[in-house]
Structure 1
Amino acid sequence: MSNSGNHVIIGAGPMGLMAAMDLLDKGKSVDIYETDDRVGGMSATFDFDGLDIERYYHFVCKTDYPLFELLERLGLSDALHWTDTKMGFFFHGRLYKWGTPLALLRFNGLGIVSKLRYAMHVMYTKNIKDWQSLDKVNATGWLRKWVGKPAYDVLWRSLFDLKFFEFTDQLSAAWIGTRIKRVGLSRKSLTQESMGYLQGGSKVLLDAMERYILERGGRIHLKSRIERVSVADGRINGIVVGGRELPCDVVLSTVPIQYVPKLVPALPRAFAEQIESIKNIPVACVILKLTQPLTENFWMNINDPSIQIPGLIEYSNLNRMTPSVIYAPFYMPKTHPKWSQSDDQLIDEVIGYLKMINPAFNADWVLSRYCHRYEFAQTICPPGFQAMLPPMKTPVEGLYMADTSYYYPEDRSISESIQTARKLCASLADEGASV
């Protein structure tokens, strides 16, 4: 089959936009359909009482090379700025400095042997190049083996338990290892972490990608939900939008793959079950605007029995701004009782934690409050996850798919969205499509 006709992309997040750019560069006709009223997906911005800011926090690391290449391509390299950031660790009622050898030495929650084992593990992980050997290794067991039970219990257990709950012992060491490496390599020196951000936020990049697409004849349909993908004789022949059937030859889905079996009823059952075996953790992310900084830290991990979130991200300590902005994510399965609580209940809970972290805090600091929810925020990547992932090319001819699951073993980032979009387009070419 020659895929020279119209290409439909489902989803206008960074992955969908990047795929559209690549296809348009190859002379293809491209239509993007997006349910939301804006492009961007999880990286989209919203009007937070007069402040345009992302719904969910993003940061840039020194190894985000696909993002750097795209910024250069779009003439946006000057929008990337770097900040020397600080990290904190709130442990049993006390906020510690974190992220440097001196901070580790001064931390009184561990003995010297545990500290040395922890430091050795970070150094080892930063130098891993081939993650295949860790794909089938259990993450929590791997961490305990390296750092020991005392260090695992203090530094890791609450982070896993408050993000993955019953899935805590079902995670691949390759996934957590690449996360440690990405952040670890984003350092200017042993004593100084450096993180990046885009001046104007991700919106600057998204707007440029949108302009690139429109200027080259691509079409972006917002508030347009695809109801069904039509299949005839085992191949794509159209989509149904607003009750109208529109012809197309190729469909690339960049939304969570769990939507694909519902969109494509003709998908073989065995393939649909393979998709359904991939599990995700939702997030309810509280965002607060404060009159002043809560701490000096960009990132703060938390291990305190009185606090039921794994950490706080004080975004205004990365992208310097006034007023201050804090993100507080509640990751939890939808079966967790907290998921059924109202947004206001979750926001009030977070505000209640802030005085514990900074005793000077009072409720008058809070200028604005909001909570965003997303059902497919974090893929569960168990040992052997690489073999679990369905191929990007589905059994239906002309139907391709990818989502954040395909970043594995890397963690979620705009840079990985860009890289995965390129792999998705390459999968068309590998199957003989003239892209």
Structure 2
Amino acid sequence: MVLASWDRADMPSVLRYPSDVSASVNRTSSGPSTTVLGGGALGLTVALRLAQRGERVTLVEKEPTAGGLASGFQPAPDLPGGGPFLDRFYHHLFRSDTSIISLIEELGLSANVRWGSPVNSVLWGGKYWRPYTIPGLLGFSPLPFVDRIRMGAVLAFLKAWPKVDYFERHTAADWLRRMMGARAFGVLWEPLLRAKFGTRADDISLAWFWSRIYCRSFSLGFLEPGFQDLYDAMVREIRRLGGEVRLGTHVEGAQPIAGGRWSVALRDADGTRHTMVSDSVVSTLPVRVTARLIPDLPEAWRHRHDWGDAFGAHCLVLALDKPLLPENTYWLNVNDSGYPFLVVVEHTNYVPPSRYGGRHIVYLGNYHPMDHPLFSKSLEEVRADYVPAIKRIVPSFNEASIRDSWIFGAPYAQPIVTREFPSHIPPLKGPLPGLWIGSMFQVYPQDRGQNYSVALANRLVLEMVTERRGAD
């Protein structure tokens, strides 16, 4: 089943709330109390929805800023106030992302969303091509014309077919190779699968590939100056409603205690340890992290759901004094072999560089197993690996144009979605009373994304509220 997206008009009545809900209701309420583990899009949305219902809620996040994988940093510290926040990893919206678009509207930020159709290209044979539109595919001369037509027909079928069931029976590599032909698959799609999933590329489910074609639009949106503004607004609103948001606080463990309640062990940034007690816990952390933090989870649950692999995400972010990619290219998939990164995203070929003090912002992204040596390299080592590769793509590139650079890594950011994956997805309701679990492993057949996090959070809170009503 495809994870549903809701806008506010479609939201079930149990999740609706009055627009003038009192900021004091949470502080004085004697209703249910919940501790939310994790301050990404999913955790923040859960905490916001519970706070809007007047419930007592505390969100705990280990990083000093909210937003998880979508959190930002300030790349232009010479600007007043340190300048705007920029996402640590590249993000954008699709027109079909109705859940997060509705949330942005709800928080009064719609005027800051920039929509457009930036240039998406692929590097093949040392040249730039644009095969991701109908005219671009028809003109993609590395493939014989019959292969272009065949690929277009397959992509049209994937875009039109609304049910995931058929695709779950196949791997992406095998099905695409048979349907598109070996040449078309080998030029456009196999390099991307292998760059992203490495030795696991042949195991990836066709359902995963289908979801990326079916659920996406050609138009892209970006919340200016960065999505950090959304997550900061959510923190402010949760606090306004009386909820608590504890940033820079580590969760060391959680366990059920007498009276059907939960005890959560916390450690502040200064090393101070303390315990929080609540009626329920919602973990929005990766399943394997949840399993480590809650030792009381039944062995049968662990065996079934603490399963599978997930790769880490890695980005080198460059601030340049001049543009990098030609033809105003925003997104460049690197299909040629021998490069240490799989994608180049020139953010300021979509958002004006004036937003960042005239700096041109470029992301060089990768996914790798968590034990890959890239994750232990210093910024200087990563730059030394990447700069020669950048010069192969853009021969005129001069390292002296780099005004600043940063590296970011995120563990377990890319689930390995195999055909067996659906049978291992944990239910939202945990196996212990008062425990709820929501993570990127539950947005199948999608594998990640801010929109799907918001939609999953809405569904999780709906199930929580429905269960409570049934127990009354």
- What's the TM-score, normalizing by structure 2? 0.86
State which of 274, 277, 288 in structure 2 corresponds to 1:258: 288
Q: Once the 2 structures are TM-superposed, how far is the Cα of residue 235 of structure 1 from its aligned partner?
A: 4.6
Asked if the contact 1:135/1:385 (under 8 Å) is kept, the reply is: no
1:310 and 2:310 aligned: no
Q: For the residues of structure 2 that align with 1:347 and 1:201, how far apart are their CA atoms? A: 25
Q: For the residues of structure 1 that align with 2:251 and 2:463, how far apart are their CA atoms? A: 23
Q: For the residues of structure 1 that align with 2:37 and 2:221, how far apart are their CA atoms? A: 29
Q: Give the secondary-structure state (helix, strand or coil) at the position aligned to 2:195.
A: helix
Q: Which amino acid aligns with 1:268?
A: P
Q: Which amino acid aligns with 1:174?
A: A
Match of 1:319 in 2: 351
Q: Once the 2 structures are TM-superposed, how far is the Cα of residue 234 of structure 1 from its aligned partner?
A: 9.9
Match of 1:57 in 2: 90
Q: Once the 2 structures are TM-superposed, how far is the Cα of residue 136 of structure 1 from its aligned partner?
A: 3.0
Q: Once the 2 structures are TM-superposed, how far is the Cα of residue 36 of structure 1 from its aligned partner?
A: 0.6
Residues 337/208 of structure 1: CA separation in 2 closer, same or farther (3 Å cut): closer
Q: For the residues of structure 2 that align with 1:265 and 1:234, how far apart are their CA atoms? A: 19
Q: Give the secondary-structure state (helix, strand or coil) at the position aligned to 2:441.
A: helix
Q: For the residues of structure 1 that align with 2:469 and 2:31, how far apart are their CA atoms? A: 8
Q: Give the secondary-structure state (helix, strand or coil) at the position aligned to 2:96.
A: coil
Q: For the residues of structure 2 that align with 1:233 and 1:219, how far apart are their CA atoms? A: 24
Q: For the residues of structure 2 that align with 1:430 and 1:133, how far apart are their CA atoms? A: 32
State which of 170, 184, 189 in structure 2 corresponds to 1:151: 184
After superposition, the C-alpha distances for 1:340-398 in whole angstroms (9 at most, x for unaligned) are 43332223322222222222211122111111011111011111422210111111111
- Larger mean CA deviation between 209-218 and 328-337 belongs to 328-337
Q: Give the secondary-structure state (helix, strand or coil) at the position aligned to 1:381.
A: coil
Q: Once the 2 structures are TM-superposed, how far is the Cα of residue 281 of structure 1 from its aligned partner?
A: 0.5
Q: For the residues of structure 1 that align with 2:303 and 2:245, how far apart are their CA atoms? A: 31
1:285 and 2:315 aligned: yes
Q: Once the 2 structures are TM-superposed, how far is the Cα of residue 4 of structure 1 from its aligned partner?
A: 3.8
Asked if the contact 2:151/2:180 (under 8 Å) is kept, the reply is: yes
1:199 and 2:197 aligned: no
What does residue range 391-410 of structure 1 map to in structure 2 within 5 Å? 391-410=427-446
Asked if the contact 2:130/2:136 (under 8 Å) is kept, the reply is: yes
Q: Give the secondary-structure state (helix, strand or coil) at the position aligned to 1:31.
A: strand
Q: Once the 2 structures are TM-superposed, how far is the Cα of residue 173 of structure 1 from its aligned partner?
A: 0.9
Q: Give the secondary-structure state (helix, strand or coil) at the position aligned to 1:39.
A: coil
Q: Once the 2 structures are TM-superposed, how far is the Cα of residue 411 of structure 1 from its aligned partner?
A: 4.1
Residues 293/98 of structure 1: CA separation in 2 closer, same or farther (3 Å cut): farther
Residues 327/238 of structure 1: CA separation in 2 closer, same or farther (3 Å cut): same
Asked if the contact 2:317/2:407 (under 8 Å) is kept, the reply is: yes
After superposition, the C-alpha distances for 1:201-242 in whole angstroms (9 at most, x for unaligned) are 102211211111011001001111121112236954211123
Q: Give the secondary-structure state (helix, strand or coil) at the position aligned to 2:281.
A: strand
Q: For the residues of structure 2 that align with 1:274 and 1:233, how far apart are their CA atoms? A: 27
Asked if the contact 2:196/2:342 (under 8 Å) is kept, the reply is: yes
Asked if the contact 1:234/1:397 (under 8 Å) is kept, the reply is: no
Asked if the contact 1:59/1:195 (under 8 Å) is kept, the reply is: yes
Asked if the contact 2:417/2:447 (under 8 Å) is kept, the reply is: no
1:376 and 2:412 aligned: yes
Q: Which amino acid aligns with 2:89?
A: Y
After superposition, the C-alpha distances for 1:313-346 in whole angstroms (9 at most, x for unaligned) are 1111222223211111121113434444333222
Residues 199/430 of structure 1: CA separation in 2 closer, same or farther (3 Å cut): same
Asked if the contact 1:235/1:396 (under 8 Å) is kept, the reply is: no
State which of 239, 243, 246 in structure 1 corresponds to 2:264: 239
What does residue range 336-375 of structure 1 map to in structure 2 within 5 Å? 336-375=372-411
Asked if the contact 2:441/2:447 (under 8 Å) is kept, the reply is: no
Q: For the residues of structure 1 that align with 2:212 and 2:260, how far apart are their CA atoms? A: 38
1:431 and 2:460 aligned: no
Q: Which amino acid aligns with 1:85?
A: P
Match of 1:106 in 2: 139
Unaligned runs of 5+ in 2: 1-29, 78-82, 268-272
Q: For the residues of structure 2 that align with 1:372 and 1:434, how far apart are their CA atoms? A: 45
Q: For the residues of structure 1 that align with 2:168 and 2:367, how far apart are their CA atoms? A: 23
Q: Give the secondary-structure state (helix, strand or coil) at the position aligned to 1:298.
A: strand
State which of 254, 260, 269 in structure 1 corresponds to 2:299: 269
Residues 238/337 of structure 1: CA separation in 2 closer, same or farther (3 Å cut): closer
Q: Which amino acid aligns with 1:252?
A: V
Match of 1:23 in 2: 50
Match of 2:333 in 1: 301
Q: Give the secondary-structure state (helix, strand or coil) at the position aligned to 2:468.
A: coil
- Larger mean CA deviation between 241-250 and 413-422 belongs to 241-250
